[in-house]
Amino acid sequence: MTDMRVLMLHGLGNHRPHEHWMWWLGERLRRDRVPVQHPQLPNPDAPTFEAWREIALAELEMLAGGGERVLLTHSLSCVLWARIAPELPESLRPHRVALIAPPSADRLATVLPGFPYAEDVDLSEVASGRVVARERDPYRHVPVADVASRWGLPSIELPGEGHLNHEDGHGAWPAALAWTLTGDDQAWSVTAG
């Protein structure tokens, strides 16, 4: 067993399908005896910030403790993380964070106007983070580097188009596994399996 704990937070409309890379990653990590938390966030089709915030904070409390703490967020949970991260006490902060396929503020405002977007928040002070996304994403109308820079993080742009979910070929995703285990950003250059 490794001295690592992993939390994964899904995005809008995600009912944790087995075909999604998060499900695959959780199973692979558990097979390697890495503790994984992958909660179903409340009302995923019409979430409220407060309900998701409450669950995320509870999950971060469970993640706290010894060993390396790793957080992977997808889509709307990237926005959730950007909103709650600055308020977190040191004890709840993960060591590493991957914000995968965040939506842009304008796209979120049209899809879910009640969910507050975090702009110009320096997340680099909270944890070692990075934004990972495709060159083109139907939920992001600006370059990935723009989203990342507003959060004070480096960006890793993957070629092609898609939202980095099972619908665009990200079921088994060896790159996500490699990064989770090693923290090496070079791992993201490996495409979907």
Q: What is the pTM of this model?
A: 0.96
Give the fold, CATH level 3, of 4-189: Rossmann fold (3.40.50)
- pLDDT of 51 strictly over 90: yes
Q: What's the average model confidence in pLDDT over 29-56?
A: 97
The mean pLDDT value of the chain amounts to 94
Does residue 2 have a pLDDT over 80? Answer: no
Summarize the confidence of residues 50-57 as an average pLDDT. 98
- How many angstroms separate the CA atoms of 106 and 119, rounded? 11
- Where are the alpha helices (H) located in the chain, listed in sequence order? 21-31, 49-63, 76-84, 105-111, 144-150, 174-182
pLDDT score, position 169: 85
End-to-end CA distance of the chain: 25
| pLDDT value, residue 1 | 45
pLDDT tens, residue by residue, 135-177 = 999 999 999 999 999 999 999 999 999 999 999 888 999 999 9
pLDDT given at position 192: 46
DSSP 123: G
Q: Quote the crossing angle between the two packed helices 174-182 and 21-31, to the nearest 10°.
A: 50
Q: Which tens digit of pLDDT belongs to each residue from 85-136?
A: 999 999 999 999 999 999 999 999 999 999 999 988 999 999 999 999 999 9
pLDDT of 193 strictly over 50? no
